Amino acid sequence: MFDYTFQWGAALKALPDLLNGAVVTFNTAALSMIFGVLIALILAVMRETRNPLLNGIANTWVSIARNTPALFQIYLMYFGVGAFGFHVSSWAALVIGISFNNAGYLAENFRGGLKAVPETQRFAARSLGMTAYQTYRLIVVPQMLRVVFYPITNQMVWAVLMTSLGVIVGLNNDITGVAQEYNVRTYRTFEFFALAAVLYYVTAKLIVIVARLLSWRLFRY
């Protein structure tokens, strides 16, 4: 029968290390989101152009990012690129892998967001003498961001959860990495991973709450 004795004390002692891990997890996810959003903006605009090469590159990116497991994307980044003689650290491989994934998903959202801004807004901006770039930066993108704000929040939560995959390329200082280190040493698998799960949950919830507050502040109209 059930004869396992929970040892929460041991897990709680690991809490400071796990909290440090949470900071690494959050920073990694945030960085991958910054890259993801910037690349996704470029991909979304590339897909709007009529240039077949730009279209092709952007479509391939989106297609691969959305239709292969994030785990493989990170794995291939670490070992695949390594095979070509570029050594990237575990952490860098994770950031690049998740950024790749974020960009793919967000580009699809951004495309929808761009379509939601009427063409007449562009006409109005251009008619005032704004350049195409100014029109995107000052008129189109700010309106698009409102449409894609919740998808971005979602993706940020996903990015936090995806960082747990860093453990497969040897990352040992994020939440999962720390939990795994303790697990290997103590075999208190359940306790450590349960606590790690709580930390992921809290991090994700905090992101959603902050995003909601931010949206009230940002979207005044």
Partner 1 sequence: MIEINKVHKSFGDLEVIKGVDLTVDKGEVVSIIGGSGSGKSTLLMCINGLEKIQSGSIRVDGTEVHDKGTDINKLRQKIGIVFQQWNAFPHLTVLENVMLAPRKVLGKSRAEAEEVAVNQLNHVGLGDKIKVFPGTLSGGQQQRMAIARALAMSPDYMLFDEATSALDPQLVGEVLDTVRMLADDGMTMVLVTHEIHFARDVSDRVAFFRNGLVHEIGTPDQVINNPQKPETIAFLKSVS
- Residues in contact with partner 1 by CB under 8 A are 118, 120-121, 123-131, 134, 138-139, 142-143, 146, 219-221
Give the C-alpha separation, 195 to 143, whole Å: 40
Query: Nearer Cβ to partner 1, position 19 or 116?
Result: 116
The CB-side HSE value for 199 (13 A sphere, CA atoms) comes to: 30
Query: Nearer Cβ to partner 1, position 96 or 152?
Result: 152
Give the C-alpha separation, 93 to 73, whole Å: 9
CB of 130 to partner 1, least distance (A): 6
- Greatest alpha-carbon pair distance for the chain in Å reads 77
Q: Per the structure block, which two tokens stand in for 197?
A: 């799960």
Give the C-alpha separation, 209 to 22, whole Å: 17
Instruction: List the one residue out of 21, 23, 43, 28 whose CA is nearest residue 156.
Output: 28
CB of 129 to partner 1, least distance (A): 4
Give the C-alpha separation, 218 to 112, whole Å: 20
CB of 134 to partner 1, least distance (A): 6
Q: Per the structure block, which two tokens stand in for 135?
A: 């029109």
Query: Nearer Cβ to partner 1, position 134 or 186?
Result: 134
Q: Per the structure block, which two tokens stand in for 217?
A: 């502040």
Query: Nearer Cβ to partner 1, position 49 or 63?
Result: 49
Rounded to 5 degrees, φ, ψ at 153 are -60, -50
Q: Per the structure block, which two tokens stand in for 189?
A: 């698998």
The CB-side HSE value for 123 (13 A sphere, CA atoms) comes to: 3
Query: Nearer Cβ to partner 1, position 125 or 199?
Result: 125
Query: Nearer Cβ to partner 1, position 140 or 199?
Result: 140
